[in-house]
């Protein structure tokens, strides 16, 4: 059963990535994380979710959002498999990935554009 029931849509991080990210802070996987890193990443996660709920008045590009989600997922997977000695550094990278997504939502929700020939 997933940690959080969350729809896969362009209003926020896909549910699978969201749940994997939260799982990094479980007692089993959090060994090797500093409090500072945990606070920074969870703060950026909360900011991203808030910005997704209240996006800017413009539009975020579909391609940019999709790429940002892919990069976040790759970083989460990298952090999940990291040994204790590098876990903190790998998880710390997630804060910047989340900031990128928040910045996209600050522009606005995903805009789907059609380019006519």
Environment class of residue 13 by beta-carbon count within 10 Å: exposed (0-12), middle (13-18) or buried (19+)? buried
DSSP states of 63-86 = HHHHHHHHHHHHHHHHHHT--HHH
Tell me, what's the pLDDT at 101?
A: 94
Pick from 19, 31, 37, 34: nearest CA to 76: 19
* pLDDT for 52 beyond 70: yes
Structure tokens at 48: 């991203």
pLDDT digits (tens, 9 = 90+) for 60-114: 888 899 999 999 999 999 999 999 999 999 999 999 999 999 999 999 888 765 4
Residue 32: DSSP 8-state: T
Query: Percent of the chain beyond pLDDT 90?
Result: 56
DSSP 3-state of 61: strand
């Amino acid at each position: 059963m997933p940690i959080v029931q969350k729809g896969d849509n362009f209003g926020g991080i896909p549910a699978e990535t969201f749940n994997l990210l939260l799982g990094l802070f479980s007692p089993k996987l959090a060994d090797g994380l500093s409090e500072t890193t945990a606070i920074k990443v969870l703060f950026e996660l909360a900011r991203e979710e808030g910005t997704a709920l209240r996006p800017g008045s413009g539009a975020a590009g579909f391609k940019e959002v999709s790429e940002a989600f892919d990069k976040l997922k790759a970083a989460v997977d990298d952090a999940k498999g990291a040994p204790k000695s590098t876990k903190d550094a790998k998880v710390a990278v997630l804060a910047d990935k989340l900031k990128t997504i928040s910045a996209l939502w600050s522009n606005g929700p995903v805009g789907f554009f059609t380019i006519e020939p």
